[in-house]
Amino acid sequence: MEAIISASELAVDLAGEHPPVVLDVRWQLSVAKAAGEPPFDGRAAYAAGHVPGAVYVDLDRELAGAAGAAGRHPLPDLAGFGAAMRRAGVSAGRPVVVYDGGQGWAAARAWWLLRWTGHPDVRVLDGGLPQWRGELSVDVPARVEGDFVPVPGAAGLLDADGAAALARSGVLFDARAGERYRGEVEPIDRVGGHIPGAVSAPTTDNVGPDGRFRPAGELQDRFKALGADGAEVGVYCGSGVSGAHEVLALAVAGIPADLYVGSWSEWSSDPSRPVAVGPEPQ
């Protein structure tokens, strides 16, 4: 099953007899903003214009649990997640396409959660809403209840101990910016640095200037050069959002990977866990 879909392919599918459910997951990471600058409002962005028929999904409320010891975006309560997906019209037998504002991180989080909980056909709009060439709608579609019931997968998910072990036995990619990996800056979490043994692989390097993923062959070459050549692969980031985007890039490259959802926000919250700094995995 393909992990991504182009805007032109989505337009064709939406005009067909069996259109996919489309989820709008526009979101931005909350960091310190200039005085007087309001936080990003994904629901307002949706109301101002969205792919016709799309349903808005709130990442912070519906694709993650409450922030705490398990990280800033831990796994959501699965009963609540399932209810949110059914309200959005998601059914097991109907394809789903997810998009965001172009960065791809939020859409990838929804893709990963749906795939991990058993949906067989989920794709991300490559490049997000900026790639859409059709008309935008301000209409909220009539609610059609879906039947999707999430069933967590036996694989695909790492906890802190599993991530630490994989950094030694396979390859654990750190999807954050290089300066955060090296510990030079840390704008959000308690301390900078990385999980010992992890390899820096910023997810921003997986896309081109237009926000679309680089060709599968280029991604394969990149990840293999970083150590994913037959090894078991895991990914983490700050809080399990941009890391999902790297897992998606790996899927485009044909490389399966697990996600450490708690990521650095969970790892660094415990002072007893080791922290490495500098450009090398250590």
d(CA 24, CA 100): 6
157-158: strand order across its sheet: 157-158, 258-260, 233-236, 171-174, 199-200
Q: Which of 158, 233, 237, 241 is catalytic?
A: 237
237 is a catalytic site residue: yes
Residue 247 tokens, joined: 């897992």
Residue 28 tokens, joined: 């931005």
d(CA 81, CA 281): 35
Query: Which residues on adjacent β-strands are paired with residue 180?
Result: none
Q: Which 3 state secondary structure label does DSSP give 120?
A: coil
d(CA 6, CA 97): 10
Which residues carry out catalysis?
237
